[in-house]
Amino acid sequence: MISLEKNRHLFAPPFCESVETFLLPVPKFKFETNNGSRIAGGWRYFDQIRVIQKKNDAYVEVLMTPSKLLSSSKINCKSSLIKTEMNLENIIKKRPLYSKCDMSQPHIMGVINLTPDSFYKKSRKQDYVSVDKTIKKMENCGASIIDIGGESTKPGSQMISVKEEKRRVLQVIERLKKNNLKSLISLDTRNLSTMKIGYKNKVDIINDITGFNDDNKICFVSKNKIPIIVMHMQRDPVTMQNNPKYSFAPIDIYKFFFKKINDLLNMGVDVANIIIDPGIGFGKNKFHNLDILRNLSIFHSLGVPILIGLSRKSLIEELTVANFRSCGINKKSVSPGKRLSGSLAFAIHAINCGVQMIRTHDVFETKQAMICQRALI
């Protein structure tokens, strides 16, 4: 684990060539700030920034106001100041509409799995009638987007054939798009030919756990101007939990997205069609996941909306079991069916960090938590 030393001084002026610099706005309510700026044109504000610098294998963190950050950048050179200004602009600027969704407000993405083996049994659907019923319920409870997938990608899961994935999703998405849905449909797939089937049947969004790791996929979504969700995953579902390693997960993943977003833009993808997902639980252990969640605001300076999917994941079980055992209670496991409370706690944390989209199995409960939390603002 890295040692992130909190200090009064940085290693060097922000964004100079001898160090790597990362900005994390400190999210607050408007009344907590002194003439604060909106984060991403949304519902959270900031008047302080955690500035993290990496030099070789050492990290330091300094808390600054934006004006102090800018004045510190001027000390070095014009290039440092320009990079600082660009990062601050990315943090502040309002995100454009994403597939008809207003990104100045938080959104809920409901999950439906057309699979027999997804980790949460209640999310599994095998026929159109049950899918249609579930979608209508999710829409009425506040889901903006429904994410539909035909392949389980839980840790250790084997890849199914593309033919089988298509068989599972094709009839359902064909029939769904003929209905007058209030919500948008996202197709969760890592296969180009399945993406093409989805596009042909007018799905609104494509969600790829491999982060569009193939130029052919990027060319396809760019040419057809398809909104996409780009997730980070280390290795693949079969091996991703076999001793995953990072220098410092939030920064390593930030750097992955920085390069990926530039690659997408260079290949013609519109920035308004990009959402990023740090991929909680996909090639990350408990400590990596917690580091990402503690430092979520680092991703705002990438200038695109953020999605978080934590619903009923094993991180909740790990934390619960460890806590019970520390109290002398021999708790052995917590099934996915008993992880709702932890899911809601993490969802509200993400919303309070300014994250624009929450992916969840539990739309009504998540919406209710958001309503109650927002009533306090």
Q: How far apart are the first and last CA of the chain?
A: 36
| E strand intervals along the chain | 4-6, 20-25, 37-38, 45-46, 49-55, 58-64, 107-113, 145-149, 184-188, 205-208, 228-231, 274-277, 307-309, 357-360
- Quick check: helix, strand or coil at residue 223? helix
Q: Distance of CA 116 to CAs 96, 113, 194, 297, 358, Å?
A: 37, 8, 19, 36, 24
Instruction: For tokens 């969802």, name the residue.
Output: 347
Q: Distance of CA 339 to CAs 64, 308, 318, 321, 361, Å?
A: 37, 16, 11, 12, 11
Residue 294 φ/ψ, nearest 5 degrees: -70, -25
Instruction: For tokens 């106001």, name the residue.
Output: 65
DSSP 158: P
Q: What is the DSSP string of 32-79?
A: GSSSPEESTTSS-EES-EEEEEEETTEEEEEEE-HHHHHHHHHTT-HH
Q: Which residues are catalytic?
A: 313, 359
Instruction: For tokens 């209640």, name the residue.
Output: 122
Tokens representing residue 185 in the block: 């449909």
Tokens representing residue 194 in the block: 């399945």
Tokens representing residue 305 in the block: 């909306």
Instruction: For tokens 């997902």, name the residue.
Output: 277
